[in-house]
Amino acid sequence: MSAERVARGDARRDLMDIAIDCFARYGFQATSIDRIAKAAGLTKGALYYHFKDKEALLFAAVTKRLSQFERRVVTDLAAVPDPATALREVARVCLDHATKSNHRRMIVTLMVEAIDTNPRLAAEFRAMMHRFRMFLKRIVQRGQDSGQFRADIAAGVAAEVFTGAIMGAEIQYYQDPRTFNLAATITAFIEQFINWLSAPAPGSPRPLRAHRAAEQRSRRKSS
């Protein structure tokens, strides 16, 4: 790769970081190409060399941020053999991201907005959430295989509960950071979730079997 190519690659990466910062600070609508160019110390022409429009820049920036998050979670957790510890660790990383910068807030609110307004971004987010749930499902299954977690719980449904509880808590925190206690909420959830997974199967496991049957029906439907 030529030196010029490397420099172009670096400029593209820097631009994405600067753009996502602008989007997070001012919102997508209120962020002009001019503003991003100015923040990056570039001309508008130089910016258009890398991205055809603001939407392309948003798409690249969000895709990059999602893959960074996924890499971080997967890498961090490869070293954690205990499934309960791994689940606590995922929750800790989410809490960390939610409270330490406004980038995650931007990503999560954008994900919801995209559902009805941006099919391309919506598809990207849908696939990412699907991968994230599969990742969590495998952690739960690992605990089930080792006998640490109950075998009568549908691992896929457990993953859906986990992602929902974290995301729903985050959104309430973004909506009301002054009074919503995100750390306490996530800590309480993760404790109840692991208790639930770890508890011995109750005398009458019917409702839990019903979840698993429902999940299998839904899996058949979607395949």
Residues 58-84 as b/e (b if ≥16 CB within 10 A, e otherwise) read: bbbbbebbbeebeeebeeebeeeeebb
* Residue number, 75 or 223, with CB nearest to its own copies: 223
Burial class (CB in 10 A: 0-12, 13-18, 19+), 180: middle
Residue 167 engages its own copies in binding (rule: CB under 8 A): yes
Question: Is 96 a residue that touches its own copies (CB under 8 A)?
Answer: no
Please report whether residue 130 would count as binding its own copies according to CB under 8 A.
yes
> Does 165 sit near its own copies (CB under 8 A)?
yes
| Residue 141 parent element (H or E) | helix 119-145
Residue 169 as a binder of its own copies (CB under 8 A): the answer is yes
Q: Per-residue x/- mask for its own copies, residues 12 to 41, rule CB under 8 A?
A: ---------------x-x------------
Residues in contact with its own copies, total (CB under 8 A)?
60
Shortest gap between Cβ of 216 and its own copies (angstroms)? Answer: 10
Closest alpha carbon to 114 in 20, 4, 106: 106
CB of 207 to its own copies, least distance (A): 6
Residue 48 lies near its own copies (rule: CB under 8 A): no
Window contacting its own copies (CB under 8 A); options: 57-65, 80-88, 90-98, 119-127: 119-127
* Of the candidate residues 6, 7, 115, 151, the single one contacting its own copies (CB under 8 A): 115
Would residue 181 be called left, alpha or beta, if left means φ above 0 and alpha means ψ between -120 and 50 degrees?
A: beta
Give 103's contacts (C-beta < 8 A, 6+ positions apart).
20, 21, 24, 65, 97
Task: Write phi, then psi, for 104 (nearest 5 degrees).
Answer: -65, -40
Return d(Cα 194, Cα 140) in angstroms, integer. Answer: 10
Residues near its own copies (CB under 8 A):
27, 29, 108-109, 111-113, 115-117, 122, 125-126, 129-130, 153-154, 156-158, 160-161, 163-172, 174-176, 178-181, 183-185, 187-189, 191-193, 195-196, 199, 207-208, 210-211, 214-215, 218, 221-222
